[in-house]
Amino acid sequence: MLQQRSSGLLLHITSLPSAHGVGDLGPEAYRFADFLESAGQTYWQILPLTPVDPGAGFSPYSSPSAFAGNVLMISLEKLAEEGLLREEDLTTLHEKPLEDVTLSEPSAGDPAVLAGPLVLAPSTLHAAWLKKRPLLEQAAETFRRDASIARQADYVQFIERQAHWLDDYALFSALQEDTGEPFWLRWPEELVRRDPDAISQHTERLRDKIELIKIQQFFFFGQWNELIYYCYARKIHLIGDIPIYVQFNSADVWANPTMFKLDENLQPLYVAGAPPDYFSEYGQRWGNPIYDWEEHERTGFAWWMRRMRHQMSLYSLTRLDHFLGFAVYWEIPASEPTAKVGEWVKAPIEAFMHAMYRQFVTLPIIAEDLGARTADVQPHLRHYGIPGMRVIQFGFGEDLPTSSHIVHNHAENFVVYSGTHDNNTTLGWFRESSEAVCERLNDYMGFPVTTENVVDQVCRLTMQSVARLAIIPVQDLLKLDETNRMNTPGLGGRSWQWRLQPDQLTPEAAEWLLKLTKMTGRG
Q: How many CB atoms lie within 10 A of CB 521?
A: 12
Measured CA to CA, the distance from residue 197 to residue 236 in angstroms comes to 48
Q: Which is catalytic among the residues 422, 456, 481, 482?
A: 422
| Residue from 159, 233, 132 nearest 151 by CA | 159
Which residues 6+ apart lie within 8 Å of 500 measured at CB?
A: 11, 15, 16, 17, 23, 474
Q: Which is catalytic among the residues 24, 321, 369, 476?
A: 321
Q: Report the SS3 class of residue 470.
A: strand
> Cα–Cα–Cα angle for 114, 263, 210, nearest 5°?
35
Catalytic residue flag (residue 321): yes
8 A C-beta contact, residue 355 and residue 335: no
Catalytic residue flag (residue 422): yes
DSSP track, 308-324 = HHHHHTT-SEEEETTGG
Catalytic residue flag (residue 511): no
Q: Which is catalytic among the residues 24, 241, 368, 369?
A: 368
Could you give phi then psi for residue 132, rounded to 5 degrees? -85, -30
DSSP state of 347: -
> What amino acid occupies position 100?
D
| Residue from 458, 454, 309, 331 nearest 394 by CA | 458
8 A C-beta contact, residue 50 and residue 63: yes
8 A C-beta contact, residue 10 and residue 423: no
Measured CA to CA, the distance from residue 391 to residue 135 in angstroms comes to 41
Looking from the CA of 322 toward its CB, the CA atoms found within 13 Å total 16
Task: Please identify every residue annotated as catalytic.
Answer: 321, 368, 422
